[in-house]
Amino acid sequence: MQKKQIAIIGATGFTGSELVRILRHHPAVDIAAITSESRAGEPFSQVHPFFEGIVDAELIPVADLDTRQIDLVFLALPHGVSMRYVEQFQEANFPIIDLSGDFRLSSPAVYDQWYKKAHSYPTGFERSAYGIPELYPEAIRQSRLIANPGCYPTSVLLGVAPLLNAGLIKPRPIIADCKSGVTGAGVKSKPVNHFSTVNDNFKAYGLKGHRHTIEIQEQLQQFSGRPVTVQFTPHLLPVDRGILSTIYLQPEQETLRDEDLKAVYRQFYSNAPFIRLRETPPASKQVRGTNYCDIFATYDRRTGNLIVITAIDNLVKGAAGQAVQNMNLHFNWDQQLGLEQIPLCP
């Protein structure tokens, strides 16, 4: 097999370095270029010292990228920046997997409302596919622009979509209580992720207006064809990586059994190698460093609520790993290629 030549644009952040870590061991690709505008000319391992002697490639500006030699581009850039490169490469002969939020929503108007900025490339929405392989495999195979989902939405959608699809739960309200490690806030230093702020601390943030709320809600509506209302509250944990989501749902009927839930998940995810159905509530450390999503579901007869708990690594299944899974799917490769990591525990 001739290896595909891959470029990573914006590799100085957490998701960019995670892409390099995964792709370095992928048997079907070579990392042809890694770009950075702010650190151009420096070795990648100088920016991320844990790559010393492993990936020492020089970072280059995007202007120096020879796109004629590239088979696929990952954009590991902040929202508001990715859209410029998607527009710049719209006529290029390679697919793009965008890890920002620039093309995840349904329209430029919705983006403007939730991201508080005008979208500069609105026609990109028409050609993008939302990149959860377990939900939209065919669209991912066919699209030249794949919008990699957000980390919180990934953890919620994978837990809720099978039940909503089967008609087992009411579409409103869907209450998602989610906790994430500090890397979800990005690599740039700011008061919210200073050690003195995060250590021995635990807090909620982004109530009522977090942009992942609308991403979750739109995708559940699109997937099920039903109007959905999502109440999403994120929390910041004093850990480096991982997301644990506890989701409260109302069943359509009170005769629901745990066996019914398990049967729905087993059937829905019968061809999903990264979904693990658990007999007990999962923990974030059980998926650390991997592309797995662990799911547990149970019905509480006393309260009449259904409880779903999911665990993912926010940098892998919530970002870089899912992006590589999307690449595998797009090229009609085994979805697990390059993603066979065993969880790092303890």
Tokens found for residue 120: 């500069």
> Residue 232 in contact with residue 216, Cβ under 8 Å?
yes
Tokens found for residue 83: 């859209």
DSSP 230: E
Rounded distance between C-alpha atoms, residue 199 and residue 22, angstroms: 29
> Residue 231 in contact with residue 302, Cβ under 8 Å?
no
**What amino acid is encoded at 95 in this protein?**
P
Catalytic pick among 151, 178, 293, 345: 151
Tokens found for residue 183: 């890397």
Burial class of 217 by CB neighbour count within 10 A (0 to 12, 13 to 18, 19+): buried
Is residue 151 part of the annotated active site? The answer reads: yes
Q: How far apart are the first and last CA of the chain?
A: 37
Q: Sign (positive/negative) of CA torsion 307, 287, 12, 190?
A: positive
Q: Are strands 174-180 and 243-249 parallel, antiparallel or unpaired?
A: antiparallel
Q: Give 267's contacts (C-beta < 8 A, 6+ positions apart).
A: none
Number of H-type helices and E-type strands within the chain: 11, 13
Q: Which residues on adjacent β-strands are paired with residue 121?
A: none
- What are the catalytic residues? 151
